Amino acid sequence: MGKWYSILKVRDLRGRHTGYYCDIATPPRLLEDGGIEFTDLFVDVWVSPDLRYKVLDEEELENAYTRGWISKRLYERAKKEVTNIANAIDRERFPPKHVKRLEAKLNL
């Protein structure tokens, strides 16, 4: 909880790791009725196994902001999270420790 992104490890049909899909979204929030709420922030990052990355759907983020679908605060936070992920990759700190621990625990 508290993260502004989720990371999915992607495999092909033979089980080979093909990359990580990083979805930028607000942190999940537990609602009074037991539901969970979060807002997708329209931008994503694809990270290949060799740690090359590509920012996806930047135009969707721009459109969402200009159309008033998300606030300036959320727009700026989405851009910040993309930068944070890129910086982690550039510093060879990707995937994050919590993802590496989960991968090891689940033998992924």
Give 54-104 pLDDT, tens digit per residue.
999 999 999 999 999 999 999 999 999 999 999 999 999 999 888 889 888
Lowest mean pLDDT among 1-10, 18-27, 48-57, 73-82: 1-10
If we measure between CA atoms, which residue out of 86, 64, 87, 84 comes closest to residue 75?
64
List Cβ neighbours of 37 (8 Å cut-off, separation of 6 or more).
28, 29, 31
Residue 7 confidence class, pLDDT cut points 50, 70, 90: very high
Domains of the chain are: 5-105 (2.40.380.10)
**What length does the chain have?**
108
Q: Are strands 5-11 and 29-30 parallel, antiparallel or unpaired?
A: unpaired
Question: Residue 95 to residues 30, 35, 87, 103: CA-CA distances in angstroms?
Answer: 26, 29, 11, 10
| Mean pLDDT, range 15-42, rounded to an integer | 94
Confidence (pLDDT) at 106: 86
- Span 31-45, pLDDT tens digits: 999 999 989 999 999
The Cα–Cα gap between 2 and 106 comes to 22
> Model's pTM, two decimal places?
0.87
